[in-house]
Structure 1
């Protein structure tokens, strides 16, 4: 069953076509990879999916509902949450506070609850923050300022913040960038657990080895268009994929 569908999505910036007639279906409960060389349109496509850009043409459906013209906050409330290439944190707040901030995107608790610190909401928030600290293996760092974390720890914290919004579809923009081999292994395990917990993951990533071991389906973009799509084995053997990445003819 498709949880996210793009139908003929195109985005033009003046005379530049950044995304061209993209059709994409992401099945629920999968880890779906989105790859391509620099400038292929991957990040622009993420921005279209999450509402930071409006398509020039085409439509975007979330759980079968057209969200093409809805706001980013509306999509977040419907379960579509994104991380960015550059980790977006509150650097002077501690790890636990950063995770708690992610809960503002959910319907669990209003702004009034948040600022008045109602007893019931404070308990809900505490329990959820504790769960995510343990899940992300950040419990020992709960009181550390986000700015003092290592790069890899900041990347994981960014994902934990996104999980606090209770996404049904989680879009990750190059989450493995700058990580050590051991950090990548731990994040692979974390993403597999997220998927097993019922959240669909869509992943933009340049680390091909990690993409091949993690994703069930991979879509390849080139010059804003879908070059091919299929299993990791299909993509690995596709002659035009190597050509797109290396600029050579197969």
Structure 2
């Protein structure tokens, strides 16, 4: 394939634009915010699980406290009934003895229940403190995720703006190339990543490999308008005064 040397040199401008577009693509895939968001989501799930677990424990304690309070109320009601019977003076000696015994038993029972209730309420107070702390940690995790997402979206917006500018620039730069030359360039770029590069000081600018003596001889013998490709990476090697020929 042949192309005017000046046209071949313009491939370097196209390659520079494509390199910038490739950097945008790479940057989009490797934004640090992406990994940060993944970690923030992991932390958020852990904090949500903690809140749920503590909430379940708190709910169990609330039910236990309510059950204990109900049982205490029942004992108190029984005590009140027995006291009224005693105060009424209408019971016989045997029933009086039974009521006094029952009152003593109820009093001990109520004392034990109240002790248990106090312990339950202390436990509930501790779990409520844990719940408040877990909620604070959850709020922090949610804010960290939101912050990372905002920064990611901002970075993506900048990349999209850069990509749009470079894409428009590429359309303008590539407009004047002969179709066969542009097709070759695009095909090599699609497979190798770089379509054209400067041959500088006997070294291919795409793969950075120095040409051996025989390869350099073939390049020197090629006509100025001959499109020369690197034997290692297939990139079009643009020849200038810097090529060392």
Give the TM-score range, shorter chain: under 0.3
Which TM-score applies when normalising by structure 1? Answer: 0.22
Of Structure 1 and Structure 2, the greater strand share is in 1
If asked which structure has higher relative contact order (CA below 8 Å, sep 6+), I would say: 2
Q: Rg: which structure is higher?
A: 2
Q: Taking structure 2 as the reference length, what is the TM-score of the superposition?
A: 0.22
